[in-house]
Structure 1
Amino acid sequence: MARLFDLDLLRTLVVIAETGSLSAAAPRLNRSQSAVSEQVRKLEDMCGVTLLDRGKTGARLTPAGERLVDHAHELLALSDAALRDMQNAQLAGNLHLAITDYFRPSALPGLLRRMRDQFPKLHLHVSIRKSAAIDDAAAEEFDIGLSMAILGTATVPPAKTIQHTHLRQEPLVWVADKSFSIPDGGVIPLVVLPDTCSLQRFIVKSLKSHGTSYKIAHSASGIGGLHMAIEAGLGVTCLNASAIPPNAMSLNSLPELPPMPNVAFRLVAPRIGEPAHIADVRNMLVDYLS
């Protein structure tokens, strides 16, 4: 008798891969951590290989686990598409998505692929924007906006305050390449985005309040350029945890650098009369990103 994959087990592996640990995956799956662990064990027994390397800092896919997750994305997307088709809910239309540059740069391609797989008839238009532009209540050029806010600060004027769905929080971390060292004289070379970026302005304001000497060593146009400047050892910057490049080190313990708050990622609340296909994608994003 042929052995068939259980979609629930595959979904568990995908969520673990997305969240980085069994403990983080458990609430998204509405299961206990022990139940999640048991599902992984069943899946590994069926495949006859180890799918996860578990450690104190979380769980990481093995090469076999990475291959299975690729298959799982396709199988789960086909399952969702088949269900929508049977329910006459095959979504079609245009969707304009605006995303802040700071949102999980390495995970963005996977998110867009999931949207493409789950909604194959949807024409997706993605633009990378500043959070302030996304949060502008007068902006009507997009259907769903994903922005970042620095917690504990007033980044949007009261007249433009709008409602959001909060998804997740992350710490802000001072970082530099592992090869970096503070130059003689103690002046911190900063690698930042242009001063139209609210995080860049907050970084400069925090350094001034802390009494730290600094200079702008490099101004990048986007997160990709910022990462290259960091990896080249050009200076220090402050990034949300999921936007930190892999070879960077934390400088939060340096007394020259001020403590920083958390940031929150959030979706701009839906507009009145939002079409069904946009609401369905919004619900998927809330589930995926929370």
Structure 2
Amino acid sequence: MDLIKAIVIAIIEGLTEYLPVSSTAHMIFTSSIYGIQEDEFVKMFQVSIQFGAILAVVFLYWKKFFDFSNLKFYFKLALAVVPALVLGWIFDDKIEAVLGDPVPIAIVLILGGIVLLFIDKLFKNPVVDDEKDVTYKSALLIGFWQCLAMMPGTSRSAASIIGGMQQNLTRKAAAEFSFFLAVPTMLAVAVYSVFVKDWNYQGVEQKGYEMLLTGNNLMLFLVGNVVAFVVAVVAIKFFIGVLTKYGFKPWGWYRIIVGIVLLVYFTQFQ
């Protein structure tokens, strides 16, 4: 993977991480269509550049995120992230196996789009307009909703936002809680992929940080995170505006159209 391809993947990550459209699916499709070889470094790169996207949330919401007068908020985030950490560790190998087949991911993209077309009608009377008012029980349940995104194509953002709305949060409050929840969730995934997970890279079992010391991998990693950060800042601001004004329906149609196009592409031309 060269620098241009790394930048393209990072742009896709930054654009889609916080949108309800599945960043994982978009990066997999981009890699396949763009002819990026799916070696172990590419897989690790796609996961680890989420760190740049994490920093976008911290940058945009730093006043809320570093409000140490509200320690309960941090405990709620810690509780909400537990289901993803436990189930992600248990099903890591099975999830990775699915990543190699774009057809089921395209199908999930379509099915998730159909759900988003109707989701606004299901939760009409939200009462929680501030993430500080989320209860411990609601935080944990939102954390379980987030686990639906372990199936590539589902979207972590969509699953956790819908979970928040199911717990009577407004769309804006649910989206912001989803953003905050993404920080410990994706930080844990990035740390796991770089420092804990064993990768079979070039025929040798290596940790992620060892792969970074090969060739120009470290440069690609750093550039990818910077690009993901910048693009994610713009994407978050755009998403909040569209979600508040129009709801989920535009994203539902987007998922359906893109999913159908990709399904045809991968079944007929690959």
Shared fold per TM-score greater than 0.5: no
Q: Which has the higher helix share?
A: 2
Higher relative contact order (CA 8 A, sep 6+): 2
Q: Which has the higher strand share?
A: 1
TM-score (norm 2): 0.28
Larger radius of gyration: 1
